[in-house]
Structures are given as structure tokens and as C-alpha cells.
Structure 1
Amino acid sequence: MRHPRHDGGGPASPEQSGARTAGASRVPPPRGRGVTTAGPREVNEPMNTPQERPDHQELMSLLGAWALAACSAEEAERVEDHLNECGPCAEEALRLRDAALLLEPQRSLDLDPALRAKVLAGCLSRRPARLPVPSWAAPFDAEAARLDALLNDMAEDEWYAPVELRWFADGRWTGRDTTVAGVLDHLLAVDGLLARAVGLPDPLGDGPGPETEKDDEDDGDGDDAGDDGPVARTLRRWLTACGDPAGPRRSWLPWREQTRALVRAAAERGGRAGERTLPRSLFPDPGRFPGRGGELPLSDAFLDRAFACWIHAEDIAGAVEYPYEPPMGQHLRQLVDLAARRLPGSIADRRRAGLAVSPARLTTAGHPGRTLHLEVEGAGGGHWYIPIDSPVAAVTRSQAREAVAHVALDDVVFCQLAAGRVTPEEAASGVEGDPALIHDVLCAAADLSRL
């Protein structure tokens, strides 16, 4: 990248970026080399070079520890004094210091994702917001801000970096090649479905949202060959935009303004998670949201876009070789919960499509039948009990204790599985119980992935 990101709007300093400038190749200056109290050297006293002094070998043996910052303060001072007098040792010290930098694991130069939330909480405690952002929209707000900061620091040529988008569909992996600019075009287009649903202007120029437009209703599929529903139309325009060479940054500012408008729309509506709803027909992909019926929670629609924003930000960061941290724990748990609540419907869809390997079992209405215990570990983790045979049934405590299988996954790995970034075989680490049932559940999690 052009320069690592840091706290501020200007270019990163050499100390922040880790790059060595012309002056950075010098070893540290000597310490305490002021006026000496030693008397003048006798004329006949032999003058030893640094390599001939008795302590040269001892100080040379400390160079490795000095490069790793493992010396005591006294030893470091002696080594640094010696480096200013001994050229060969100074060159060796530079080589060792550069090699030590390679041993340090690559990590993000960004601040802790939780710091933004802490700063905002401190500001709002002094001056409460007139329209506070509801907790269910906070993950979308935070992930859009983090991606915006990454895009702000990218060099022009990095917008053309190749990106492969992968997802799991119909029991097999598929993908599409695009660029960093194409990923952002995709986010702009699909976020536009939510924008239209809340009455904001269509980012691709189709006019206002559904409150004033009635011609977007379809049969609930949206992906049929002859269908001109919002999903089909959005994806067609995205594919056209990916081949447009007219400026790779063309979608950045529109996307940023759209995300801010969506956050404002969430603040204007407010309410608790699940309280506000939208017509499900505005989001014709039946597997994208949990539950059934004609309405879906507005909070789930925002969490879905937060999930996509994070995953595609990781795609972009990987393309430009920049380490990217997962969301803060509180937000990550909301995203994990969304994916876990989508699992029963995905399991049922796989069974109806004939993709399940475990045998089906009939159960009485309202009874979950078999139950799987999903344990997600990490800051965003928790425990979920997944009904296998009846996707809409609730699982009681007694039924949870009789779970026929147990799957333990890391929170980030579980989200990557649900996003189609890792395979079920790569994700499966801590599993216990019916192998066929576990296979079906892990594949159902992968089936949650979408373009």
C-alpha cells in the first residue's frame, strides 16, 4: 500500500510506517559521551583499534540480543557506544536488526476496533446524540467506517488489484474474478437493496425506494432468467460496472455517502432489535435472512450488510496485502448470532434439495426433533441449539440437554465458513456426535454464503 494507516489524516511518519529512511539506517547514537574525566593518554601508550580491545568479542556476542531488544539497559548502552566506534559491528548490527523485524508477526497498524466505540461512548456521555444509533445498526456503522479508512489509504494502482469472490451454492464451490474496485461496486449495488427498502434513493439510478415505486414485486426468486426484480437488475449492473475502466474510485464516495445515509435512517427509526420490520419481498433471496413469513426484522437486514462489509473488507485487505482485524467482540457476536439463526432454514433447504446425507426424521408440529449444540468460541461466541428436523421450532432446555451432536468453532472461523471463505473440512475442529449430521450442518453453514 502507499502508506500504512494511522491515527490522523496525513501521511504516516517513518516511525509509524516502519520504513527506514536515509537517516534510519544509522545505529543509535552513543549515550553519555560528554566531557571525560580521564587524563591525557601517554604518548607511548599503544592505541588499540575497536577490534583489538579486550571487550570487543564480548560486545560482538551481544549484538543478537541487542537486535532483539533483549539486553539490559547497561548492556545496551555499552553495545551502542561500541557500534559508533566499530564499523564491522555496526554493519552486523544493522543486518541483525533487519532480520529481527522479519521475525515479528504481521499485524494491523490500525487502532483496536473497540477504541472507536469507546471514544464515541465517551463523547456521547458528555453530549447525548439527538438520534442515537441503535445497537443493531452499530456493527454496520463501525464496519463501514473501518473499510472507508482502508480505502482512503490505498494507492491508485491498488484499486486494480485482483480479487476472487467465492461462495458455496448447490453443493459446490463457485467464484468470480473481479478487482478491489469491483468489490466496492458490488457493495454499493447490494447495499442499495436495503437503501431502497428504507426509502432512500437508488444508488444505481432507478429513482426512489419502494415507498413510491410499485413495479419491483416479483415471485420471491429474483434470479430467474427472465426476471427483472431488484436482485437480478442489481447484479447485472454490477457486472457491467466491473468492466468499466473509467476511474477505479468512482464508487467510493457514493458508497460512503450511502452507508452514512443508511446509518441515519436506522437512527431515525430506532427501536430494539426485531421491533421494526420490512416486507420480505424487497429482499427476494429466501435464504439470506432467518425465519419465514412476509416480514423480516430491519435489524437483521442491517446486520446482514455489516457482515458483508466486514467480509468484503477482508477480501480487499488481502488483495493489497494489508492485515485486517475482525470486528470488536460485541459486534462480532451479533454477526455470529445472525448466522446461527439462519442455520435451521439452510438445513431445511439442503434437505429439500436432496443434498443432505443424514436421514430425515418426521417430528410433531412445534417439536424440533434432533438438536445440535453449536458452541462458538472467542469474544463473539456463545451457545446455540439448532433444531435439525423442524426449522421453525424452539428448543427447550430439556431438549438442549439431549443434543445428538456438538460442534465447536472459533467465532471468526464460523463467520468465514458462513461467508464461503473456508470449507467445512477446514472449519471442523471440535466435533462430537453423528458424523453425517455434523457434515450436513457444516455444509448448511457454508450454504449461507452469497455473492
Structure 2
Amino acid sequence: MNGGGREGDRRDDEVRGARRIPGPRGAVDDLDLEAMERPALPPPGGSTPDEAVPEQGAAEPDGDVEPEADAVDEPEPAMTSAATPVLSHQVLKALLGAWALSACSAEETAAVEDHLTGCAPCADEALRLRDAVGLLHTDGSLDLDPTLRTRVMDGCLGRRPARIPVPDWATPYDAETARLDALLRDIGDSEWHAPVRLQWFEDERPATRRTTVAGVIGHLMAVDGLVSAALGLDDPLGRVEVPLSPARRTETYWAATRPPATRAVREPWRDLTHELIRTASLAGRNVAERSVSYGDFALPLQDALLDRAFECWVHGTDIAEAVDYPYQPPSAAHLHRMIDLAARLLPAALAGRRSAGLAGPAKELVTPGEPGRSVHLEVEGHGGGDWYIPLDSPAAVGSPRRAVAQVALDGVEFCRLVAGRIPPVEAAAGQEGDREAIRDVLFASASLSRL
């Protein structure tokens, strides 16, 4: 409750001068109109300007007239800075945003919090603003979860199954092409020309080839043409006779795209991936075993699409590193299938290296039925498992064998080895047993890589 007189005027002045959240300002607002309207404060002596300068024509007191006793009393006590200022409801409501941001002074904070205990509408608004401020200070990544698409699709298909479902063996390719397409959709036009260095392992040493982001997508499309040919679809490279080797197909495509490809390559590549998945889904069960020729070797269609999924992930990572984009490994189930494919290809890769004199000879079995030697490949972490790689005969991976060595690798690191991204001598996290057998398996894994 305010009293009258000078104390009440001073209290009103403090209310008018209270700090608040400023609104949009115009040019005229640059003038401190509030300060211009504010009455002048009394000088230290205690008299006001009106008292210091008498009005014109007023009689001045005689010099021998003594002042009244009340005129020399102690000055009126001023409000201390520690006291809570008395502010109107509108001022306190305007301060709620600054209070939520912890931008009020100590006096304003005390006044606002005292007001919130008795004003329900302001209390509700304060809670809403404080929750909004919490969203501004999140430490989490704003990038979408890479598994979001899979979770959404699983939820949708759980409620309404697809009329023609994608075969289980084609789902890794479907997922990895979709993830790569999401990356490509996010990058700008200039980033399609960002340099990318492709790596693989050839003739016991690393090999590299420089291209662009658009060139990488052209490479994927050129090799996908091998799968489209097996399904009776048109070759994306045209009607001219094109070699079956993935590397030669890629070089043919790059030579035909002068000047280098731009982001226009994304649409034909994505259309081709959709057509491959659609055709595989409509072709029936027997199509999974249809042979896809790579020139020097062939794979059944289900393994060929798994190989293409692996290539999409590997080259998606290459592109992501070139444009500084977050990119995660495949899901554990899909990564496990990719590792299993590489493990199943290792016996043939070992045999090829032996014929070229690059690996130790196979041991002849003296006793019929005697289990041959094997290397226990222990893949840890994401998508891991245990595989036994035969050394002496092309028997199936995982059959009972006498393990002469054990090598342990992380799942993603093993895939990087198979992709030619790390040297074989640096890949293993742990080794035990026959060192020559371990070396042969690691180098055979790296030899699976190609352009």
C-alpha cells in the first residue's frame, strides 16, 4: 500500500523505471522518454529544485528568521536495494520470459517468484516457458536416428502387411539403398563434386582411385547393372556391349560421362534400385538362386544383392566422410549377414591365393575322415559371431574342424578389412596360434575387396 506525498512519488518512479523485456523498437524509441518524464531527484543536500530556486516575486525570508525545527529533521529513509520492488501485474508478467532464461536481477527474481505463489495464470505461463527453455539447451544430436525409417516401416507393415512383401534376403539391399538415398537428398549441389578416394587391396598392396560423389553413385549403378541383367532388365549403361567385370564396367561408365556426372545421376540410380527390388519381389522363390555373373566369379542373386548392400554401405561411408555427414553402420542383423557372406567367400579366396603362390600350401590329410585345419574367426561387437575358415579343403564354413589358430576382430573393422580400407596387418584385435594361417586368412579377407 503506497502512502501519499514524496514517498509515494518515489515508489511510482521506481515502478516506472523497473527493467523489463524490451519489445520491438522504432526510431523514436531511441530517446529515453521515460527518463525525460521522470522528476529530477533531490540533490544530496535534501532540497528539491523547486525549493532551491524561489518563485519569481516571492518574498525571501529575513536572514535573522530561524528555520522551524521540523525543516532540519533527518532525511526520509530511502528503500534499500535488498528490498523486493513492488511491481505491477503487467510488469511481472512481462518479466516471465527473462525469469525463465535466468536473466532477471536478484530483486526482479524475488518479485516474480513471490508473485507466482499467488497468481495461477502467471504460474502456468512460467512453467510453460521454463519447459520451452529446456528444449533450447539439449545436448543430444539433432540428426535423425538412422534406424528411424526401419522402425517406421516395421510399424506400418505390422499393422498392414505389404501386398507383395520384399523377400527377407533382399531387405539389406532395400535398407542400405534407402539410407544412402537419404544422405544424397540432404547434400547440396556443390557437394556432388566433392572429391572421394576409393580404396581396395590388390597385388598385396593398397590401391586407390579418385572420383567425386557423383562418380561413386555412377559406379554403384554400373555394377548394379550386373544384377539387372540377371533379372532380364535393361542395362543402365545402354545397349552397347559392356564387360562383366565390375571395375571395367565402372571405367566404361566414367569414360562415357564427360564432363563428370552431377546430381542428375541420383534419380536413375534410385529408379534402378527400386526396379531391382520390385522385380525380385515379384519373381517368386526360385529367383533367389539365379546366378549373377561378375566375370571372374558368380553369385546367386540373394548373395549378389547382399554384396550390393555391402557396397552401398561402404561407399555411403566414403561419401559421408567427404561431405562431413553422420553415417552409421547397418543394423546388427544385416551386418551379420554381410560378415557371413565374406566368411563363406574366404575358402575360395584362399584357394585362389594359393594357386598364385601368395598363401601357404594346403596340408594333405593322411587319415580318411580326419578333420582338416581351420582358423577360428571370432567377430566381436555389432553383428558378430563365430566362423571356422577351412584351410585344407573347400568344405563348408562352420563344419567341425581342428582349429590351429584364432583371430578376433570387431565386426565393423572386419568389414573395413574386407572392403580394403585397412591393411591386413593392422586389422586383428587379437591373434593366437599358427601365425601363417592367420596371415593367410587376413590377406584373403582383404583380397575380397575391389573397385
Distance in 2 between the 1:370 and 1:148 partners?
44
Distance in 2 between the 1:277 and 1:82 partners?
75
Distance in 2 between the 1:84 and 1:146 partners?
54
Indicate whether 1:355 and 2:363 are aligned.
no
Structure 1 partner of 2:331: 328
SS in 1 for 2:387: strand
Larger radius of gyration: 2
Which of 233, 254, 278 aligns to 1:239? It is: 254
8 Å CA contact 2:206–2:423 kept in 1: the answer is: no
Distance in 1 between the 2:372 and 2:355 partners?
17
Change (3 A) 1:385 1:108: farther
Amino acid in the other structure paired with 1:301: A
Shift of 1:108: 8.2
Distance in 2 between the 1:324 and 1:242 partners?
28
8 Å CA contact 2:387–2:397 kept in 1: the answer is: no
8 Å CA contact 1:347–1:444 kept in 2: the answer is: yes
Change (3 A) 1:311 1:230: closer
Change (3 A) 1:422 1:80: farther
Indicate whether 1:190 and 2:223 are aligned.
yes
Structure 1 partner of 2:265: 251
Shift of 1:351: 1.4
Q: Which structure is higher in RCO with an 8 Å CA cutoff and minimum separation 6?
A: 1
- Alignment gaps of 5+ in structure 2: 1-75, 83-98, 109-136
- How many residue pairs get aligned? The number is 334
Shift of 1:185: 0.7
8 Å CA contact 1:108–1:324 kept in 2: the answer is: no
TM-score normalised by length of structure 1: 0.67
Structure 2 partner of 1:139: 172
Deviations 1:193-228 (A, max 9, x none): 111111111111128xxxxxxx88xxxxxxxxxxx5
Structure 2 partner of 1:414: 414
8 Å CA contact 2:388–2:397 kept in 1: the answer is: no
Equivalent runs, 1:214-293 vs 2, <5 Å: 228-229=243-244, 231=246, 234-241=249-256, 243-245=258-260, 248-271=262-285, 276-279=288-291, 282-286=293-297
Equivalent runs, 1:86-235 vs 2, <5 Å: 109-113=143-147, 115-206=148-239, 228-229=243-244, 231=246, 234-235=249-250
Structure 2 partner of 1:425: 425
Indicate whether 1:380 and 2:383 are aligned.
yes
Structure 2 partner of 1:342: 345
Distance in 1 between the 2:239 and 2:281 partners?
25
8 Å CA contact 1:139–1:331 kept in 2: the answer is: yes
Shift of 1:80: 5.0
Distance in 2 between the 1:253 and 1:235 partners?
18
Shift of 1:411: 0.9
TM-score normalised by length of structure 2: 0.67
Structure 2 partner of 1:315: 318
Change (3 A) 1:233 1:339: closer
Shift of 1:423: 1.5
Amino acid in the other structure paired with 2:288: R
Distance in 1 between the 2:372 and 2:230 partners?
36
Amino acid in the other structure paired with 2:435: P
Distance in 1 between the 2:405 and 2:100 partners?
60
Task: Please give the root-mean-square deviation of Cα atoms over the aligned residues, in Å.
Answer: 3.2
SS in 1 for 2:403: coil
Change (3 A) 1:190 1:366: farther
Percent identity reads: 51
- Alignment gaps of 5+ in structure 1: 1-41, 49-75, 86-99, 208-214, 217-227, 290-295
Distance in 2 between the 1:277 and 1:108 partners?
42
SS in 1 for 2:263: coil
Shift of 1:83: 10
Amino acid in the other structure paired with 2:199: R
Shift of 1:78: 9.4
Deviations 1:124-172 (A, max 9, x none): 2222212110111000000000110100011111011111001001111
Which of 389, 392, 397 aligns to 2:395? It is: 392
Shift of 1:276: 2.8
Shift of 1:116: 2.5
Distance in 2 between the 1:374 and 1:256 partners?
36
Amino acid in the other structure paired with 2:144: D
